Amino acid sequence: MTATELRAAALDETLRRCKVPRSYKVTGVTTTAAIAGNTLDLAALRRQAEAAEDGLLLPWLSSDGHLVRLTAAQARALCGSVDEFEARLYSFLGHAINSINVGTLKTADGIANLLWPT
118: in domain:
no
Determine the structural domain holding residue 38 and report its residue range.
3-112
42: in domain:
yes
10: in domain:
yes
- Residue 6: its pLDDT value, please? 97
117: in domain:
no
What is the band of 92 on the pLDDT scale with cuts at 50, 70, 90? very high
28: in domain:
yes
13: in domain:
yes
d(CA 10, CA 1): 12
Give the model confidence (pLDDT) of 35-83 as tens digits: 876 655 788 888 888 888 777 888 888 888 888 889 988 999 999 999 9
- Residue 105: its pLDDT value, please? 96
Structural domains in the chain (count) = 1
Whole-structure pTM value: 0.85
86: in domain:
yes
- Residue 65: its pLDDT value, please? 84
The torsion angle over the Cα atoms of residues 26, 118, 32 and 27, rounded to 10 degrees, is: -10
